[in-house]
Structure 1
Amino acid sequence: MLLPLMEREGRRSSLTTPYTISWRPLPAAGSSAAMLREAGRDLSRLVRHSAPWRFDAVDATAPGLAPLIEGIRSGGVAVLQHDHFGNWHEAFPSGTNWDAYLGARDPALRTTIRRKLARAARITDFTLIDAPGAGIEAGIADYEAVRDRSWKPYEPNPGFDAVLMRMAAAQGALRLGVLRDAAAGTPMAAQYWIRSGERAYLLKLAHDEARRADSPGTVLTALMIRHLLTEGVRELDFGRGDDPYKRLWVGCRRQRIGLILASPLTLGGLAAVARHGAGRARRAVRARLGRGAA
């Protein structure tokens, strides 16, 4: 069993960042449920006298996760589960092209996209960047300029996007799209995807809030998806969160969970168990009040 972990200030956690879409333990090939339960008991011995361990962005359906958790609990360590974020995605049959994809969207969105693309063809220019060099540096500058003029100017890790885009471009995985005002030459929207085989992951997108009436974000997303489908991409993943726009572009949702491994033999572990229990009680009360109001 391989657990991709990191340690910071004496606390162990999953090897994840605020950008991670999925994390899971990696069982050895051929591991049986009994072997994974034993691995869980071994892990519980490491947690028993330490601060709580935290696993984020966990794929709840990951192979081997259930028996691993059983083993941890049988070793006397609490495994506290909570919902972390929703992940919207959709896989398409082989051979799906843009017309077939668009035909499967909601009729209102389909009409909007066709109308917006027709207008955008007259007033905008679309650039796709997928390789290292001067082009990517210009694209990163455009992305950062758009982000600064968007509805989300705050970025907790402002240098991360540029580093990731450069690294992905070097691997041939980057798909960075920029939509410009054709007359002024200024960027109106920017977004970047990471392609891995037949999957493409949308990591970040932004549009100039002053150009909202032109729907540059919708136009650019449509152009990027059309390009990705022509490349042979067969699954689109819209990353972290339940932003309402995502369900318009893809039709499936899966829940990523968080796990806290807490030992009742430590003050930190007891506090984590108490907080988790209090949170569940508050949610249950709110749910009952909500049903009563209905």
Structure 2
Amino acid sequence: MRDLLLRQPDDGTGHARAPRLRRIGPEGLPASLDALLAPPETDLAASRLWYDTTCRVALPPGTQAMLAEVGPPGTMVVPLLMQDGRIESLTTPYTLRWRPLTAAWAGAVALERAAAELGELLRGRPPTLFRAMDSDDTLLLPLQAGLWRAGLWSRPFAHFGNWHEALPPGLRWADYVAAREQPMRSTLMRRRRRWEDETRIDLLTEPGAALEKGIAAYIDVRARSWKAAEPSPAFDPALMRGAAAAGLLRLGVLRSRADGRPLAAQYWVVSGGQAALLKLVHDEAARTLSPGTGLTAAMVAALIAEGVAGIDLGRGDDGYKRFWAKSRRQRIGMLIADPRHPAGMLALARHAAGRGWHRLRGIVARGETGEGPA
């Protein structure tokens, strides 16, 4: 039971306080968290839409979604996953960004206190991994300070790259294309007429029969694409339906004009003024047409015309992304370990060895002698 329900000490009345660590049931996050959650149109990654969809259809096998409530009431709630006594962030291969849920009014002192209580909950356990964190998040300093107060060590690590680009007001598609690298400009000019002659695009944003047809097309194209099987096949359709209901979905399907067969599909979610690309797929048999590039061009053009403030190309450093977006930021993870726990000591040693090896490789690659700072 310790791994399922931790209670605070008796409050002097003979009654235990509310649970510190509790399960998230199939109904999703409790209503009591609404004050800490963001509206999906403001921040999809911190919204009920994201977490409820994840908990319903995307949890890794054998895991249980949990909530750690720490600090003064309403200060910080940490969405977590538990498996065999191990705890980590409630993240999946679909997660774009994760952080503890915190009150807007909470300052650094309150957040550090809450993080210290989180550290007390994690102390004496195997190492914890937090993933998909923003390296510029102001929460990182009080979080690490609080964990240190609790006797835990935290060490950052690189998780995945995220390509993005701000789009200034009044930007035109022609201006955007002119700012691309020459190979991309050439491809767009060379293929434009063929895309116009041989394909058409369905842009779907609202719930209903047309959206269901578009989701079916996405699933069909994905089955004919180069991608490996989805870890959670129900996630993308569920998120598309939820985003459409919230008015945030932009699903594009590129079809053959000759027979209507879908050749490429991708979906974006517009939140906080940014358009984030969640998934894109194309039919490998049609790759001589470059259907994925044609659809991305059409979708980005539509988003620019809509007036979004920026585009975000999601997880990873896929080679095509630098042609569509100019900036890269690093999403990080955090190893949290108790140095008095055998597994924690080993994890910290491995982390230090890994950093030393990467630093040495950098020195060798740059031809440095090792004298002075690397």
| TM-score interval (norm. to shorter) | over 0.9
Task: Give the deviation of 1:278 after TM superposition.
Answer: 2.9
User: Counterpart of 2:309?
Assistant: 234
User: Counterpart of 2:186?
Assistant: 111
- Greater RCO, 1 or 2 (C-alpha within 8 Å, sep 6+): 1
Letter of the 2:82 partner, please give it: R
Out of 87, 92, 100, the position equivalent to 2:175 is: 100
TM-score by length of 2: 0.74
Out of 197, 207, 219, the position equivalent to 1:122 is: 197
Out of 346, 356, 369, the position equivalent to 1:281 is: 356
Number of aligned positions between the proteins: 294
Q: Tell me the SS of whatever aligns to 1:239.
A: coil
Supply the distance in 2 between the matched residues of 1:129 and 1:106 (Cα, whole angstroms).
Answer: 30
Out of 267, 276, 285, the position equivalent to 2:342 is: 267
Out of 88, 91, 97, the position equivalent to 1:13 is: 88
- Pairwise CA RMSD: 2.0
Task: Give the deviation of 1:248 after TM superposition.
Answer: 0.5
Task: Give the deviation of 1:197 after TM superposition.
Answer: 4.0
Out of 299, 319, 330, the position equivalent to 1:224 is: 299
Q: Return 63-72 or 78-87, whichever deviates more.
A: 63-72
Supply the distance in 1 between the matched residues of 2:115 and 2:272 (Cα, whole angstroms).
Answer: 32
Contact residue 85 and residue 241 of structure 1 kept, 8 A: yes
Task: Give the deviation of 1:260 after TM superposition.
Answer: 1.6
Out of 270, 273, 285, the position equivalent to 1:198 is: 273
Judging by fraction of residues, say which structure has more helix: 1
Supply the distance in 2 between the matched residues of 1:188 and 1:3 (Cα, whole angstroms).
Answer: 43
Contact residue 22 and residue 58 of structure 1 kept, 8 A: yes
Supply the distance in 1 between the matched residues of 2:119 and 2:252 (Cα, whole angstroms).
Answer: 46
The alignment status of 1:84 with 2:159, answered yes or no, reads: yes
The 5 A counterparts of 1:11-90 are 11-90=86-165
User: Counterpart of 2:236?
Assistant: 161
TM-score by length of 1: 0.92
Q: Tell me the SS of whatever aligns to 1:259.
A: strand
Task: Give the deviation of 1:17 after TM superposition.
Answer: 1.8
Contact residue 96 and residue 234 of structure 1 kept, 8 A: no
Q: Tell me the SS of whatever aligns to 1:157.
A: coil
Supply the distance in 1 between the matched residues of 2:78 and 2:300 (Cα, whole angstroms).
Answer: 32
Q: Could you list the runs of 5+ residues in structure 1 that have no partner in the other structure? A: none
Contact residue 76 and residue 111 of structure 2 kept, 8 A: no
Q: Return 29-38 or 212-221, whichever deviates more.
A: 29-38
User: Counterpart of 1:258?
Assistant: 333
User: Counterpart of 2:4?
Assistant: none
C-alpha deviations, 1:216-238, integer Å up to 9, x for none? Answer: 01000000011111112121000
